[in-house]
Amino acid sequence: MTDRVELIETALDSMSDGLGLLSREGEVMLWNQAAQGITGYPAIELLGRPIPEGLEQLLENDRNVGQPPGSLPERQRSVARARHKLGHFVPVIVSMRILFNGLGERIGASVRFHPVDSQDALPQSEESDFSCTDSARADLLERLQIDYDDFEHGEAPLGILRISVDQAKELRETHGAAACQAMLEKVYHALAHGLRPGEEIGYWANDGFLIIAHERSSEMLAGHAQTLVGLARTADFRWWGDRISLTVSIGAAQVSGDPAESLTQMLQRAREAMESSIREGGNRAATAANNGAAHHAQEDLPCSPS
């Protein structure tokens, strides 16, 4: 019996999706490794306790308590914004299933979730930036607009980090979308560990992310970006037993203070800086000057070994 239980636990921990099992009373009975990585909450802190307040959105689609199993859909899917233990929000796709015993009595629920991967293309214009249909990216853009307005009213400083995973395109072409998604999740979690208080990270395109930062100067933003370049290389990604080294290209843009510059232009500066990093071979960060020119924070950054 012990071997069987260990085998089941190992199988659940090997899943790339987060999985939680809840009792009828709503207490966490299982919390796999992926769930720990996505939310930052280790299983030891949750087992036998109600799900934390910041993760309650994972359960928002649990509206069918007491209904017979035959009247329920097999899965209920929704988009939720789970609050990571470090404080930032993680947009996730949630699938929930109510669990019944053989007598039709509810005995608990399972919740399965994974970070949203926006399939939108890179922003090309003001119209495409502000008409995005992906809810998670739209929420991030709304937050960015609020922070941009706050800066214009003399409040917190603002910077943008556009991040592209250098291996995304090749991995998608050679190993498929599932491998690319799993890889992006690894990089996402590695970067999330390097966020400052008040920062927010989100999927922005099908190969990377955007971080809303609040460094006081472009020099501090460049240093922060360089730290994140190093963090991305710590992501331990394996696919079918092969370890694949991961690197990122980052473009940093600090708000210029020029009243003539729109938020879209600031996003474009960050993107151009990121593309400059990509052209230089990746695994580095570049900072956009206020005139749009990109300055490399580190020109010859060595790649991590395989």
**Within this chain, do residues 142 and 264 fall inside the same structural domain, yes or no?**
yes
**Within this chain, do residues 163 and 54 fall inside the same structural domain, yes or no?**
no
Query: Is 120 part of a structural domain of the chain?
Result: no
pLDDT computed for residue 155 by the predictor: 66
pLDDT band at residue 142 under the 50/70/90 scheme:
confident
Cα 49 → chain centroid? 26
Q: Concatenated DSSP letters for 63-116?
A: --TT--GGGS-S-EEEEEEEEPTTS-EEEEEEEEEEEE-TTS-EEEEEEEEEE-
Query: Is 145 part of a structural domain of the chain?
Result: yes
Question: For the ranges 58-67, 81-90, 185-194, 208-217, which has the lowest average pLDDT?
Answer: 58-67
pTM of the model: 0.55
* Segment 168-192 mean pLDDT: 88
Reference 255, options 287, 228, 227, 286; nearest CA is 287
Alpha carbon distances (Å) from 41 to 112, 151, 198, 237 = 15, 33, 19, 21
**Within this chain, do residues 27 and 138 fall inside the same structural domain, yes or no?**
no
pLDDT of 123 above 50: no
pLDDT band at residue 136 under the 50/70/90 scheme:
low
**Within this chain, do residues 138 and 104 fall inside the same structural domain, yes or no?**
no
Q: Which DSSP state fits 256?
A: -
Alpha carbon distances (Å) from 286 to 2, 100, 143, 224, 226 = 53, 54, 24, 11, 9
Query: Is 306 part of a structural domain of the chain?
Result: no
pLDDT of 9 above 70: yes
**Within this chain, do residues 142 and 263 fall inside the same structural domain, yes or no?**
yes
Reference 187, options 141, 243, 239, 245; nearest CA is 245
Query: Is 301 part of a structural domain of the chain?
Result: no
Query: Is 136 part of a structural domain of the chain?
Result: yes
* Segment 121-137 mean pLDDT: 40
**Within this chain, do residues 65 and 149 fall inside the same structural domain, yes or no?**
no
* Segment 235-245 mean pLDDT: 84
pLDDT of 246 above 90: yes
Q: CATH number of the domain at 95, please.
A: 3.30.450.20
pLDDT computed for residue 75 by the predictor: 41
pLDDT of 250 above 60: yes
CB 272 within 8 A of CB 217: no
pLDDT tens-digit map of 15-74: 878 899 999 998 999 999 889 888 989 999 999 999 888 888 787 644 443 333 333 333
Query: Is 204 part of a structural domain of the chain?
Result: yes
**Within this chain, do residues 97 and 160 fall inside the same structural domain, yes or no?**
no
pLDDT of 122 above 70: no
Of all residues in the chain, the percent with pLDDT exceeding 90 is 34
pLDDT computed for residue 199 by the predictor: 92
Boundary-marking domain end, from 64, 80, 115? 115
Query: Is 261 part of a structural domain of the chain?
Result: yes
pLDDT of 205 above 90: no
CB 194 within 8 A of CB 231: yes
pLDDT computed for residue 294 by the predictor: 59
Question: For the ranges 2-6, 139-143, 195-199, 203-207, which has the lowest average pLDDT?
Answer: 2-6
Question: What contacts 124, CB < 8 A, 6 or more positions away?
Answer: none
> How many domains is the chain partitioned into structurally?
2
Question: How does the average pLDDT of the chain come out, rounded?
Answer: 79
Q: Which domain holds residue 142?
A: 126-296
**Within this chain, do residues 160 and 257 fall inside the same structural domain, yes or no?**
yes
pLDDT band at residue 301 under the 50/70/90 scheme:
very low
pLDDT of 132 above 80: no
Boundary-marking domain end, from 83, 115, 147? 115
Query: Is 75 part of a structural domain of the chain?
Result: yes
Q: CATH number of the domain at 136, please.
A: 3.30.70.270
**Within this chain, do residues 106 and 132 fall inside the same structural domain, yes or no?**
no
pLDDT computed for residue 2 by the predictor: 53
Q: Which DSSP state fits 236?
A: -
pLDDT band at residue 134 under the 50/70/90 scheme:
low
**Within this chain, do residues 251 and 165 fall inside the same structural domain, yes or no?**
yes
